[in-house]
A and B are shown apart, each in its own frame.
Chain A
Amino acid sequence: NAGVTQTPKFQVLKTGQSMTLQCAQDMNHEYMSWYRQDPGMGLRLIHYSVGAGITDQGEVPNGYNVSRSTTEDFPLRLLSAAPSQTSVYFCASSRVGTSSYNEQFFGPGTRLTVL
């Protein structure tokens, strides 16, 4: 049971390049989400999904796309990278149910630098 995995761990892009950050979970969780972490700002929600085929925007969605074709995978696409997207990106997953107490499990993160 690997939990939540993210690839790559590190990435350097040039302004204007596109790329996809991969996220996968093997816990059969319905809910998956992407966050970015910047110093002094905590984690901010980019996009989230409550099941295959269902996605929605979070707090800071501009410049990012997501899709959810399977329960396991939730890739994050940067359409045209900008220096403001330099950050650490975390993927998380949790069960969905009648309780909001479900713990979110986090991946190890991807450190992205945009030059």
Chain B
Amino acid sequence: AQSVTQLDSHVSVSEGTPVLLRCNYSSSYSPSLFWYVQHPNKGLQLLLKYTSAATLVKGINGFEAEFKKSETSFHLTKPSAHMSDAAEYFCVVSDSSGTYKYIFGTGTRLKVLA
């Protein structure tokens, strides 16, 4: 069975400093992995997805994630935080057994300090 663990429920960074949001996964199959962002009182928007074509995945708004099979990790990074990055971020693993179900992490709330 697949599962995903987001290691930090809250992360605070200063504007202009790097962002690191950590995600570990467990999967019996070759996983499909996603990061979604949710701004306050909004729906979910896809940031990026891992498709096995490349281990370093680039997404929107300057975010990246690196798939590390040996560490079962898919951490999200951004070199320089912006105030508009303040939101909740979800790491998601897709059930690759054919049911198309998403398994969500519990989320990391990112706070950006001026």
Could you give, for residues 17-38 of chain B, a 1 whenever the CB lies within 8 Å of some chain A CB and a 0 otherwise? 0000000000000001010100
Within 8 A of B (CB), among A69-115: 90, 92, 94, 96, 99-104, 106-109
Q: Chain A contacts of B34 at CB under 8 A?
A: 103
CB distance from B74 to the nearest CB of A (A): 13
The interface-forming segment of A11-19, A20-28, A44-52, A60-68 is A44-52
The answer on a CB contact under 8 Å between A31 and B100 is: yes
Chain B contact-residue range equals 20 to 34
Residue A42 interfacial (CB < 8 Å): yes
Structural contact, B100 and A45, CB atoms closer than 8 A: no
Q: Is the CB of A100 within 8 A of B100?
A: yes
Cβ B46 vs Cβ A103 within 8 A: yes
B107 pairs with A48, CB closer than 8 A: no
- A41 is an interface residue with CB less than 8 A from chain B: yes
Q: How far is the CA of A45 from the CA of B94 in the complex (A)?
A: 12
CB contact between A107 and one of B43, B102, B104, B107 (< 8 Å): that residue? B43
A106 CA / B105 CA spacing, docked (Å): 16
**Cβ of B44 under 8 Å from chain A:** yes
**Across the interface, which residues of A come within 8 angstroms of B99, CB to CB?**
48, 50, 56
Q: Which residues of B contact A40 (CB under 8 A)?
A: 9, 106-107
Task: Tell me the residues in window 72-88 of chain B with beta carbons closer than 8 Å to chain A beta carbons.
Answer: none
* A contacts, CB < 8 Å to B: 31, 33, 35, 40-45, 48, 50, 56, 58, 90, 92, 94, 96, 99-104, 106-109
Q: List 17 A-B contacts (CB under 8 A).
A: A33-B102, A40-B107, A41-B106, A42-B90, A42-B106, A48-B101, A90-B43, A92-B102, A94-B100, A100-B32, A100-B94, A100-B98, A101-B50, A103-B34, A103-B49, A106-B44, A106-B45
Among all A-B residue pairs, the 10 with the closest Cβ atoms = A42-B104, A100-B96, A106-B44, A100-B32, A43-B104, A42-B106, A101-B51, A108-B43, A106-B43, A100-B94
- Footprint of A on B, CB under 8 Å? 9, 32, 34, 36, 42-46, 49-52, 90, 94-96, 98-102, 104-107
